[in-house]
Amino acid sequence: MSGGWLTPEQIRQRRAGEVMEGPLGAAIYEAVIWSRKQMPGSVNDELWLHPHDEGATDLIGGTLMGYLVCASVRVPRGEALIYHANARVYVRTGETPSIANLAEPLRLPS
């Protein structure tokens, strides 16, 4: 058996690693750290990205840092939002979540 072949999942993971080393990865990391400082997470929390950000397609649909990675054109380009399922609030880096931040769903229509 040849050790040179990668499965599609291994390729996706490698590309995700490359994305995390760039600007989008830095935005994701900052969003996760900020969000975790603001409120406790749950297993249903989600990470939201703009689908046209460079490298986003390599992450969307997978899991990253314990979050399901989702996409919406309503997420500002170059940013990441964390959706806290229990609180039903989207957390943006630098903003403290409040009742005013309760958001309508960002999910794209099927």
The predicted-structure confidence for 35-49, as pLDDT tens digits, reads as follows: 988 888 788 899 999
Query: 87 in a domain, yes or no?
Result: yes
Number of domains in the chain: 1
Query: 73 in a domain, yes or no?
Result: yes
Res. 104: pLDDT tops 60: no
Query: 82 in a domain, yes or no?
Result: yes
pLDDT (0 to 100) of residue 1: 44
Classified as helix, coil or strand, 46 is strand
Answer whether 55's CB lies under 8 Å from 18's CB. Answer: yes
Query: 57 in a domain, yes or no?
Result: yes
Query: 89 in a domain, yes or no?
Result: yes
pLDDT (0 to 100) of residue 105: 47
Closest-CA residue to 35 (of 49, 26, 45):
45
Query: 109 in a domain, yes or no?
Result: no
Range of the domain at 15: 8-101
